[in-house]
Structure formats: structure tokens, C-alpha cells
Amino acid sequence: MRLGLLGGTFNPPHLAHLVCAQEAHAQLGLDVVLLVPTRQPPHKAVDDDPGPDVRRRMCELATAGDPRLGVCPIELERPGPSWTVDTLEELHARGEDDLTFIVGGDMALSLPEWREPAAILRLARLGVAERAGAGRAAIADRLAPLAPPERITFFDMPRLDIASTDLRRRTAEGRPTRYLLPEAVERFIAEQGLYR
């Protein structure tokens, strides 16, 4: 099975995350794309964190009813920082070896600074969502020392300027989030009183 992995804090998961997953699924020929909520990002704190289990539940609500999408809780099951290379190695140990790790162009440019970037590209293909400011040539040049070009695939992503930080702020201020969040996630946030 060709698995796509889209990692993040998903605090909360929003429509841009789902569009990215959908476009990767369609354009990269993936069987399913799994949201991989991180327990603890290695390089930043999770602001206004309702907790890993709550973020996992929001991911489940966001992907429910779409057979192309799902949730992989592998990083929530491990203590400490969530290193991508550890996640990919663990998935390989479980027999999942046809992996595509999905990132935005900005994250692709930063990959050489990640822990064991060459191992990441050995364990998974990189599916890069193109965005303004991070073109294919610059990304290919930056990653060339780490892996052959066939390990990196680009796909087009509609420009959707939605950020979880802004959604938390809008919620705290009582401003509308409809059409920015999946309905089930918006309802869950309201019911649980998150980000207030």
C-alpha cells in the first residue's frame, strides 16, 4: 500500500491540511494519506495545546467519512520529541515500506537541518506541496546532496492561507471559523470549550 504521511501538530486541523492531503493523494497516486499528529515537536512548543489525545480526536473527526484519509497515532504513542526519522523507521519495522512524507515547500527547504535527513529520504519519498517562495529548482538544489532526484516529487497545492494560530485566536475572540475548519472539528471545539 502506498501511504502518504502528513505530519503536524494539527492544533486544530483545518481545511488547508485536508486539501493538501487530498492533492497529495490525487497527484502522487497514493492509496491513503494519514495525518500524523505529533506529541512534541522537536523545535517548538505547542501553543495553547489541549493535549495530544484531543488533537488526535480532532484529526479523526476531520478525516472521518473520507476513505482516502486517516490518522496514524504512532508519534503520540512514543514519549519525548517526535523525530520524523524515528517515525519512518518504526513504520518500516511494522512492514510499511512504500511511504511518501508530505511537506510544504518551506519545510522541504529546511529538511537538511532535520535529524538524519538522508535517512528520511532513504526511508520515504518526499512529496512537496509547491507554494510561492519555495520553487522546485531551489528545493531540488538544496536536497540534491541528500538523495537522488527521483526520491522527491512535487505536487500542486491551491493557495489557502489558513493557519492554526489564527484559528485559535479567532476562536478565543469569538470570531467565526466556519468554512475554515471541518464542521465536525468546529463543533468539537465549541462543545469542549477549546481555545477560549
Give the model's confidence band at 132: pLDDT under 50 very low, under 70 low, under 90 confident, else very high: low
Residue 133 has pLDDT above 60, yes or no: no
- Across all residues in the chain, what is the average pLDDT? 94
Instruction: List, in order, residues 6 or more apart from 139 with CB less than 8 Å away.
Output: 105, 108, 109, 128, 152, 154
How confident is the model over 143-177, as pLDDT tens digits?
A: 999 999 999 999 999 889 999 999 999 999 999 99
What value does the mean pLDDT take over residues 169-193?
Answer: 97
C-beta atoms surrounding 100 within 10 Å: 22
Question: What pLDDT score was predicted for residue 106?
Answer: 87
DSSP letter string, 25-60: HHHHT-SEEEEEE-SS-TTS--TT---HHHHHHHHH
Please name the helix (run of DSSP H) or strand (run of DSSP E) that holds residue 118, with its range, or none: helix 117-123
**Percent of all residues in the chain with a pLDDT value above 90, rounded to a whole number:** 86
Domains along the chain with CATH numbers = 3-162 (3.40.50.620)
Matching residue, cell 532535520: 114
